[in-house]
Amino acid sequence: MTNNSKNFSVTVRVWRQAGPKEPGKMVSYKVKDVSPDTSFLEMLDILNDNLLKAGEHPVTFESDCREGICGSCGLVINGDVHGPDEHSTVCQLHMRRFKNGDVITVEPWRVKTFPILKDLAVDRSALDRVMKAGGFVSIPVGSAQDANAIPVEKDKAEEAMDAAACIGCGACVIACPNGAAMLFTGAKISQLALLPQGGPERARRALGMVEAMDREGFGNCSNEYECEAVCPKEVKVANIARMNREFLLANLASKR
């Protein structure tokens, strides 16, 4: 799949949609003289420069850190969530993964809970509302010294850090055949459920976030494991099982 050092050209088929209620269609553009070392988002920047010079509207897409941290660059590339690289984000994808003359199809996240805003940009605020339903941690952790005053088992701390690695990109939702956000929600619940600082609001957090997830219209998990396969941070489905246990215990406690 790799190329030599010479530049090459590709044809990019991009989903163009003027607004949320406008019809959309695939439009093809030729991008010439692309370096194999160019990132995929830089290639889209080059495409947009060419469109602006031609007096056309640039392609709208999301990006921020371009370091695989913020999670905003979610796209479907040739049918693959985040592109052909495993456990990676679009901003970490480089054009050396393609060949001279390739036709590359670029689409937005396609799920009802992430409505398209324009072109490749979607509204993922549903994930923000699920997060908001979890509320805050009431224990003031203060500086590092105060936080370290609360003993945390090493294995629990590591599990919590693994769950906290979730960047909220939404890839798990797109890959899931049911459009479920349970890996995302499970990770956000787990990262605090595993730590003593998250104890006081533990039950309320589980109830609130799961109920918010259902209100937003996300689907349910059917153990396909597609979410784990595409997660850029390799968050494990064990967090879904933990979320289910937390929710069940919280429900039982609320009925006493």
Q: What is the pLDDT of residue 63?
A: 95
- Whether 2 maps to a domain, the answer reads no
Report which of residues 199 and 148 the model is more confident about: 199
Model pTM score: 0.91
**Percentage of residues of the chain with pLDDT beyond 70:** 93
Considering the domain boundaries, does residue 55 fall inside one?
yes
- CATH number, residue 107: 3.10.20.30
Q: Is residue 219 part of a domain?
A: yes
CATH number at residue 137: 1.10.1060.10
110 and 197 assigned to the same domain = no
Largest CA distance in the chain: 70
At 146 the pLDDT is 62
HSE value, Cβ hemisphere, 13 Å, CA-based, for 101: 0
Q: Residue 139 sits in which domain range?
A: 125-254
User: 94-132 pLDDT, tens per residue?
Assistant: 999 999 999 999 999 999 999 999 999 999 999 999 999
Q: Do residue 114 and residue 132 come from a single domain?
A: no
3-state helix, strand, coil in the chain (%, to 5): 40, 15, 45
**Residue 37 to residue 21: CA distance in whole angstroms:** 37
Residues 43 and 131 in one domain: no
The letter for the amino acid at 148 is N
Mean pLDDT of the chain: 93
More confident residue, 3 or 195: 195
What pLDDT, on the 0 to 100 scale, is given for residue 1? 42
Q: Are residues 51 and 112 in the same domain?
A: yes
The continuous run of DSSP H or E covering 8 comes out as strand 8-17
| Residue where one domain finishes, among candidates 118, 133, 157 | 118
> Are 140 and 100 found together in one domain?
no
pLDDT digits (tens, 9 = 90+) for 56-90: 999 999 999 999 999 999 999 999 999 999 999 99
Burial of 149 (0-12, 13-18, 19+ CB in 10 A): exposed
Same domain, 141 and 44: no
Do 109 and 134 belong together in one domain? no
pLDDT digits (tens, 9 = 90+) for 16-60: 999 999 999 999 999 999 999 999 999 999 999 999 999 999 999
What's residue 2's pLDDT?
A: 46
Please say if the pLDDT value at position 255 is more than 90: no
Is the domain of 101 the same as that of 158? no
Same domain? For 173 and 230 the reply is: yes
Q: Looking at the 3D structure of the chain, how many domains does it have?
A: 2
Using the 3D structure, point to which of 70, 99, 118 is the last residue of a domain: 118
Which amino acid, residue 7?
N
1 is a domain residue: no
User: 118, 153, 168: which is the final residue of a domain?
Assistant: 118
Residue 158: pLDDT band (50, 70, 90) is very high
Tell me the mean pLDDT in the region 125-147. Answer: 80
User: Could you tell me if residue 172 is inside a domain?
Assistant: yes
Half-sphere exposure for 90 (CA within 13 Å, toward CB): 30
Reply yes or no on whether the pLDDT at 7 is more than 70.
yes
Tell whether 98 and 148 lie within a shared domain: no
Tell whether 182 and 113 lie within a shared domain.
no
Distances, alpha carbon 34 to alpha carbons 38, 52, 62, 63, 68, in Å:
7, 18, 21, 20, 22
Residue 3 is predicted with a pLDDT of: 47
Same domain, 207 and 97: no
Residue 3, in any domain of the structure: no
